[in-house]
Structure formats: C-alpha cells, structure tokens
Amino acid sequence: MEEKIIFEKNGVLVTDKRVVVGTNTAPIVNIHSVSMGKKKYMLGFLLSIVAAPVACMLGFAMLVSRPIPTWSYLLTLAVVGIFFLGLWVAERDATYSVRISGDVGFTEILKSKDKEFILSVIDAINKAIVDRL
C-alpha cells in the first residue's frame, strides 16, 4: 500500500505511516499522542514578576499618603506599563513545539515561533493517528 501524504511544508512530512522532521523519522504506530509545548521568554516574564509588587506598593503608598505627589502618578503608570511590557515580550518571543508521546515518553520533534505552523503539524499527526486506527 502506498503512503498517503497528509502534510508537507518547511521540511516537515506527515504521511499515514510516518512523520519526518529534517533527518528524524518517527513511525506513526509508535506515537500515542501529540501535543503543543510552549516556552516563554523568561526575561519578559521576570520583568512582570518584579514590576507587579512594585506597582502594588506604589498604589498602596498613594492611598495612605496625603497630599499625593504628582510624580507618584507618573511613576505608578510607568511601573504598570513595564508590567504589561514584560507580559507582551514574554508572549511575543514564545517558542512553540510539537511534542509526541510514545513508548519512551515525551519527545519534542519540532520547535518554531510560528504557532499556526505548529498547530497545523499537530493536526496532521492527529489525523495520521486516527487514520491508522
């Protein structure tokens, strides 16, 4: 029986019998499940973790102090902006991966910053697994 190509793009080939990523090949019969991994950029995440309590402390200080200095509004706004900037950087620079589960545990077979590409590879592998059954 001839292999049916389900997905082929950017050096990734998914057929009803195997998955080929670069020079690595995984038979579909050895794949139990497939999922998406996500790794965020830690510097942006760390920036948000540091900025959040600072913004809370500034907000509390503004509540209890009278009169409120003008610069404290600007400082609080800047710290809140840094918090959201950190979240944005962490999400923007995230790396997604295709993780397959087989007889030997989880293996990351492909990494990319393109979430849609990773999701399309995962859909193709899932289709190959269902077609096998």
Residues 6 or more apart whose Cβ sits within 8 Å of residue 105: none
* pLDDT level of residue 1 (50, 70, 90 thresholds): low
Ranges 31-35, 115-119, 128-132: which has the least confidence? 128-132
Q: pLDDT band at 8, cuts 50/70/90? A: very high
- The one-letter code for the residue type at 42 is M
CA–CA dist 25, 50 (Å, integer):
43
What pLDDT score was predicted for residue 13? 94
Burial 70-106 (b: 16+ CB within 10 A, else e): eeeeebbeebbebbeebbebbeeeeebbbbbeeeeee
**Residue 49 amino acid letter:** I
Given a cut of 80, is residue 99 above it in pLDDT? yes
Both tokens of residue 57? 């402390």
Q: Please report, for the chain, the start and end positions of each structural domain, with discontinuous segments joined by +.
A: 5-36+97-132, 42-92
**Average pLDDT along the chain:** 88
pLDDT of 41 = 76
Are 14 and 97 within 8 A, CB to CB?
Answer: no
**Lowest mean per-residue pLDDT among 4-8, 25-29, 77-81, 129-133:** 129-133
CB 77 within 8 A of CB 51: no
pLDDT beyond 90 at 124: yes
Q: Which residue do the tokens 């959201």 mark?
A: 84
Q: What is the pTM of this model?
A: 0.72
- What's the pLDDT tens digit per position in 32-81? 999 999 988 787 878 888 888 888 888 888 878 778 777 888 888 888 88
Helix 70-92 crosses helix 42-64 at what angle (to 10 degrees)?
160
Concatenate the DSSP letters of all residues of 10-70 into one string.
Answer: TTEEEESSEEEETTEEEEGGGEEEEEEEEE--HHHHHHHHHHHHHHHHHHHHHHH-SSPPH
Name the more confident of 14 and 44: 14
pLDDT of residue 111: 94
